[in-house]
Amino acid sequence: MLELDDVHVAYGGLKALAGVSVKVGAGDFVSIIGPNGAGKTTLFKCISGIVAPVQGTIRFDGQDLTKVPAADRPHLGIAHVPEGRQVFPNLSVLENLEMGAWTYAGRRDWTDNLEYILGLFPVLASRRDQLAGTLSGGEQQMVAIGRGLASSPRLLMLDEPSMGLAPTIVDSIFERIVEIRRDKKLTVLLVEQRAVEALQSCDRGYVLETGRVVLEGGHEELLSDDRVRKAYLGI
């Protein structure tokens, strides 16, 4: 479904990605783990079109994404739940979700999607008219994920959904992600620093370090890999 081949990105003279190739098949749950500054967020921004690659190709369902303007990509079925949540602080919770439904598919499925999102995160129902900027971090993460779902995506990209959240909330967010994938038969691409949670829920994973894929494999394979165990799982 999504195929990145030899993608290079540079900020000025600084190489953020140096030839990254990632494949995500339809229905897959793929995790990308790696330390801070490895280029995980850059990779996502590249897929969303905020950052343009200097070299390499990105294909979504066979279509060359680099030729599609950033604002048109969500309409193809790509939902990006950005790092740091990035909700619209001065819009209400409901309005945030409505903006998620800006895509053609999201508009069509709005009623069903809203019901599903509020069922998934009941706390949002009681806060629907509250400004999103006044919510707690965990609630904002729920809004951000809900906003992504409201676009009726086929590919859901989650950038560090655990960032800055308490451990119990992180657990419940990960449970919800697994639940969403099961209910909606979504393809999920997850970027995480929390390697344990990310690798446990995924089918396949990539380890990204300083702009390169240093390791890839199935979830069993990565969990039992010595380097991964030492560097990321602390075993």
Partner 1 sequence: MNDFLINLENVLQALSAGLLLGGIYGLMCVGLGIIFGVMRVINFGQGDLMMVGMYCAFYLFTTLGIGNFLGAEVGAIVAALLTGPIMYVFGLLLHRFLVSRVTGVRVAGLEGEGHYAQLILTLGMALILANGGLLLFGSTPVSIKSSLSSSAWEVGPFVGEFVSIFVNKARGIALVVSLAVAAALYFFITRSRLGKSLRAAADNPEAAIYMGIDVDKAHRMAFGIGTAVTAVAGGLVASYYPFQPYVGLEFVIVMYAGVVLGGLGSIIGAFWGGMIIGLVQQLATLVLPTQLQNTAVFVVFLLVVFLRPQGLFGVNVTRA
Per CB under 8 A, residues contacting partner 1 are 48-50, 69-75, 79-80, 82, 84-91, 95, 98-100, 102-103, 131-134, 140, 147, 151
**CB nearer to partner 1: pick between 30 and 156:** 156
What element of type H or E holds 58? strand 55-60
Contact predicate 19/177, CB 8 Å: no
133 pairs with which residues across the strands? none
**CB nearer to partner 1: pick between 72 and 171:** 72
**CB nearer to partner 1: pick between 95 and 216:** 95
**CB nearer to partner 1: pick between 105 and 199:** 105
**CB nearer to partner 1: pick between 70 and 178:** 70
Q: How far is the CB of 212 from partner 1 (least distance, A)?
A: 25
**Cα 197 from Cα 192, distance rounded (Å):** 9
Q: How far is the CB of 41 from partner 1 (least distance, A)?
A: 12
Q: How far is the CB of 81 from partner 1 (least distance, A)?
A: 8
User: Which DSSP symbol is given to 233?
Assistant: I
Determine if residue 57 is left, alpha or beta; phi over 0 gives left, psi from -120 to 50 gives alpha, anything else beta: beta
Q: How far is the CB of 201 from partner 1 (least distance, A)?
A: 23
Q: How far is the CB of 140 from partner 1 (least distance, A)?
A: 5
**Cα 52 from Cα 10, distance rounded (Å):** 9
**Cα 33 from Cα 204, distance rounded (Å):** 11
